[in-house]
Amino acid sequence: MSKPIKKIIIAGGGTAGWMTAAALSKLMGDSLDITLVESEQIGTVGVGEATIPTLIFFHRLLGIDEAEFLTATQATYKLGIRFENWRRVGHQYLHGFGVTGRDCWACGFQHFWLRARQLGIAGDFGEYCLERRAAEAGKFSHLPNNGLNYAFHFDASLYAKFLRQFSGRHGAKRVEGKIDQVKVNPDNGHISSLKLDNGDELDGDFFIDCTGMRALLIEKTLHTGFESWSHWLPCDGAVAVQTEAVEPPRPYTRSIARESAWQWRIPLQHRVGNGLVFASSYQSDDAACHQLAENIAGVPLTDPRLIKFQTGRRRKQWHKNCLAVGLSSGFLEPLESTSIHLIQQNIVRFLRLFPHREISQVAVDTFNREAEFDMERIRDFIILHYKVTERDDTEFWRYCRNMRIPDTLSAKIDLFRETGHVNRDGNELFVDSWQQVMFGQGLVPERYHPLVDVMSEEELRGFIQQVSQQIDGSMSQLKDHHEYLMDTLQKKAVAGVGALS
């Protein structure tokens, strides 16, 4: 394909479509004609209302004002995820977004902590993570030098509207309509145009598939294939409902393991997002709806919405002149809030490899290889929560404990169990999170690094105390999460009124 890429058609809106439109219009709008087609008649999955800290970098790239985003999307701050009943019924731990302790050149903090724990001079592992401490105390503030890692809870539909307005200001056009037919060039197999149900036809040089699980372009038209991971992640359904808030929002997501499912609670400014992810092989749709209804707090604001899915990935996320972004590229359940991260990864990766004059197969292969790596490493991290557990109280949990897992995950678990070391492969997303979840799920290394024994007990005690004191110092600078959030929003509102006067 030698034709320059000038005209891009984004098929589908929602979070994926409007994040794509926002990035392309802001960063490349002067050189591209960008059109997004969506239909008000087609709903979006939209249950991903929680993120991880990488969204902050996406917003900075686009120059999005954080207070404006918070106001528009009814967002709250998020410092981590509290896992309840995952290791065993009644047990809980909080996976914080920050780094635990302080590493040295040869080994991680967990090695020093293991010896200190044996000597009885250290507290729980999570006590040495500022974000976990702050989350449990309900505290939040912006600290100097990005001293506190955080993400957000927000209303996904409001976020799409926010980005739609942002994209429009930067030149992206929106077309209302349902896609009736995807036309393909018979000479090269590339997509040539989208025909809408009203008879209009949108031609383009490049097409981005944001049609969700339908994958109308990348799969139904280009037939790239799908690799299922349901044997490792057997949950295949979710039911979601919104409720009134009954308490001030906490700065963390709750993930509560049930008999054959897990439940999320995501606190926003104006309501709470609730859902139950379940495995239909072990629980019926009706039973899942009933279980969620029995375990929510606050008056329901919506009727329960049932969503069916299959975990896995598209074998090619970029094929010919089509790129899949969002659920069209594959699905990983929202246990660690990674869906929006994967959207922005594909967007940024595409911008980095953008085919200005022609589509390079080397660039396409590089994109697909990196996208596959990202999804597989996140997949492994999610499987970890199910596999490493003491639960055997139901058929579902017995299956998870005994199932065969990917070799990449097995190697990671074995290395940590035998040496206490967490190996980071390439540029994978999670680092400190691995040891937080491994410890939280009950996986304790058999030994620690011998370098730790160079320290005397007195030196080790001093080191552990120093780490703890540093966190205490940072904690003293934090305010109540809800009060800080409301103060931030009020200041933004006052500044907005001042700008209009």
Active site residues: 78
309-to-306, 328, 332, 407 alpha-carbon distances in Å: 10, 11, 9, 25
Q: Which two tokens stand for residue 291?
A: 């279980």
Kindly tell me the burial class for residue 490, based on how many C-beta atoms sit within 10 Å of its own C-beta (0-12, 13-18, 19 or more).
Answer: exposed
Residue 183, classed as helix, strand or coil, is strand
Residue 18, classed as helix, strand or coil, is helix
Q: Which residues pair with 182 in a beta bridge?
A: 194
Q: Which residues pair with 140 in a beta bridge?
A: 479
Chain centre to alpha carbon of residue 11: 22
**For residue 187, which amino acid is it?**
D
Residue 98 near residue 130 (C-beta atoms within 8 A) = yes
CA 94-344-183 angle, 5° bins: 135
**For residue 139, which amino acid is it?**
K
Query: How many Cα atoms occupy the beta-carbon half-sphere of 184 within 13 Å?
Result: 16
DSSP letters along 191-245, please?
EEEEEETTS-EEE-SEEEE--GGG-TTTTTTT---EEE-TTTS---EEEEEEE--
Q: Which residues contact 40 (CB under 8 A, 6 or more apart)?
A: 176
Residue 418 near residue 445 (C-beta atoms within 8 A) = yes
Kindly tell me the burial class for residue 243, based on how many C-beta atoms sit within 10 Å of its own C-beta (0-12, 13-18, 19 or more).
Answer: middle
Q: Which residue bears the tokens 């139950």?
A: 276
Kindly tell me the burial class for residue 209, based on how many C-beta atoms sit within 10 Å of its own C-beta (0-12, 13-18, 19 or more).
Answer: buried
Count of CB atoms situated within 10 Å of the CB of 345 = 21
Nearest to 200 by CA among 173, 174, 177: 177
Mark residue 174 as left, alpha or beta (left: phi above 0; alpha: psi -120 to 50; beta: remaining): beta
Q: Which two tokens stand for residue 205?
A: 């040089």
